[in-house]
Structure 1
Amino acid sequence: MARYTGPVCRLCRREGLKLYLKGDKCFTDKCPVAKRNYAPGQHGQSRKKVTEYGLQLREKQKVKRFYGINESQMARYFDIADKMQGITGENLLHLLETRLDNAVYRLGFAQSRPEARQLVTHGHFIVNGHKTDIPSFKITQGDVIQVKEKSRNSEKIKSIIENHNGTQVSWVNVDLEALKGTIVAEPTRDDIDIPVEEHLIVELYSK
C-alpha cells in the first residue's frame, strides 16, 4: 500500500477528530474539522449504522493516520506487539510511540508528525552521534537525538526552535541551547495521549 499523498485534512474529517497533521493550522479557525465536522465526500453528512467491524476498523485507521504508517507496517507492528510480554494493544502503541519521527515530534523539533518524518528523512538529526534518516528507527531510554551541525542554520530548523513551546510528554527532556533531546524513560500508556481504544484493534486483527 502506497503512502497517502492527498489532502491530509480529509483524513481528520473522515475520523471525526483532529489528527494534528498540519501543525499550527490545526489550532486555528482554518482547521477543516472545526468548519466541517463530518466525513468528506458526497454522502459525508448522511447517517450510517456503524457495525462492530466498522468500529474496529476506524480505530485501526485512526492509529495509522496519527503515526503516518501504511497497512503493511501496521500489520508488522501488530505481529511484534502480539509476541511481546504484556498487553498487546499497549505494546502496539509503545512500538509506534518509540519511532524516531514520533520522538522528534514529541521533543518539539517539528510541528507535526508528517513534518518530523520529512526532517528525519532529509537527514537533519543524529541519534547517539550517528546520522539516522529512517523514520521508523526505534529509540530507547538513554538515546540522545540531536540536530545535525550542518542543519542548525537551516531556516526551517530555526523557525521550529523559535516557536518551540516545550515538550508534550514527560519521557523526553530537551536542551534547546544544544539542540538535542534525551529519552529519559520508556513511554507508558498514560503518556500516549491519542484518543484510541487499542483493544478494538486487537480484536480486529485477532479475527
Structure 2
Amino acid sequence: MARYTGPKSKVARRFREPIFGPDKALERKNYPPGFHGPNKRRSKQSEYSIQLLEKQKAKYTYGILERQFANLFDKAQRKMGITGELLLQFCEARLDNVVYRMGISPTRSGARQLVGHRHITVNGEMVNIPSYSLKPGDKVGVRERSKSMEVITNSLTSGATNKHDWYEFNRSSMTGTYIQHPTRDQIPENIKEQLIVELYSK
C-alpha cells in the first residue's frame, strides 16, 4: 500500500499549518523550511504555484497520492454538482478518514493502519482498503477482537471526539453510522478547493 513516508514537519512548515496534527516543530519554526530560514527572501508566487500548493496540501491532509487524487477529481467532475465540494466530499467519505473523524484513531495515518491491518468493519464485514468509499447509511465499527487494543481505547478515552452532523458514533459499542455526505461548511479543513479545480482545468 503506497503512502507518504517522508518528513511530516517539513511539509507542515511549507504550508504553515498542522496538517498532520499538533507539531512542536511547526510551533518553534513557523516559517517555510530551507537553508536560510526565516531570513530568506521569498519570491512572489505565480498563480500556478499557488494552485499547485493547494492541491498538494489537500493530498497531504487526506494522505492521498497523485493518481488517486486525480481519479477522485475526475469522478467529481463527472458528477452533477459543484466539482470542488464534491472532491472534498469524496475525500471525507474514505474509510480511513471516517475512522479518524469518529475518534477511533487520533490521526489519519493511524486510521489507515487500523484499516489495513483488518481492525475495522463496514456493515459487519471486515474491510482492509483505506480508500473504500462509504455510502450514506453504512455502519462502521471496530472488529470485536480488536476492541481491547490499547491504541484504540487510548484514542477514544484521551480526548473528545470531533463530532460532526454527518455521522454518528457510539463509544461504548465502538460503532458508528455514516449518515450522509458532508456539505462544504461541515468540512473543517482549510482547503481552497476552487484553486484545485482551476489547476486541473488548465
- Confirm or deny a common fold (TM above 0.5): yes
Correspondence for 1:13? 13
Alpha-carbon separation, structure 1, partners of 2:184 and 2:199: 20
Residue 164 of structure 1 and its aligned partner are, at CA, apart by 4.1
Residue 3 of structure 1 and its aligned partner are, at CA, apart by 2.8
Query: RMSD across aligned C-alpha pairs, in angstroms?
Result: 1.4
**Alpha carbons of structure 1 residues 44 and 206: separation in structure 2 relative to 1, 3 Å:** farther
CA contact (8 A) 1:167 1:173 kept: no
**AA partner of residue 60 (structure 1):** K
Alpha-carbon separation, structure 2, partners of 1:3 and 1:166: 25
Alpha-carbon separation, structure 1, partners of 2:163 and 2:9: 22
Query: Structure 2 length as normaliser, TM-score?
Result: 0.94
The structure 2 residue matched to 1:180, chosen from 160, 175, 179, is 175
Residue 8 of structure 1 and its aligned partner are, at CA, apart by 1.1
Runs of 5+ consecutive residues of structure 2 not aligned to the other structure: none
Residue 206 of structure 1 and its aligned partner are, at CA, apart by 0.7
Alpha-carbon separation, structure 2, partners of 1:88 and 1:196: 14
**AA partner of residue 31 (structure 2):** Y
Query: Structure 1 length as normaliser, TM-score?
Result: 0.91
Correspondence for 1:37? 30
Deviation digits for residues 67-121 of structure 1, max 9, x if unmatched? Answer: 0011111111111111010111111111101000000011111101111111111
Single out whichever of 65-74 and 181-190 deviates more from structure 2.
181-190
Residue 57 of structure 1 and its aligned partner are, at CA, apart by 0.5
**Sequence identity, in percent?**
44
Equivalences, count: 199
CA contact (8 A) 1:63 1:196 kept: yes
Residue 10 of structure 1 and its aligned partner are, at CA, apart by 1.3
- 1:116-127 superposed matches below 5 A: 116-127=111-122
Deviation digits for residues 156-176 of structure 1, max 9, x if unmatched? Answer: 122122224123321111111
CA contact (8 A) 1:142 1:185 kept: yes
**AA partner of residue 99 (structure 1):** R
**AA partner of residue 91 (structure 1):** L
**AA partner of residue 91 (structure 2):** L
Give structure 1 regions of 4+ aligned residues with deviation exceeding 3 angstroms: none
Secondary structure of the residue that 2:176 maps to in structure 1? Answer: strand
Alpha-carbon separation, structure 1, partners of 2:4 and 2:43: 25
The structure 2 residue matched to 1:131, chosen from 126, 140, 149, is 126
**AA partner of residue 126 (structure 1):** T
Correspondence for 1:114? 109
Verify: 1:66 aligned to 2:61, yes or no. yes
Residue 141 of structure 1 and its aligned partner are, at CA, apart by 1.2
Alpha-carbon separation, structure 2, partners of 1:43 and 1:85: 47
Runs of 5+ consecutive residues of structure 1 not aligned to the other structure: none
Correspondence for 1:78? 73
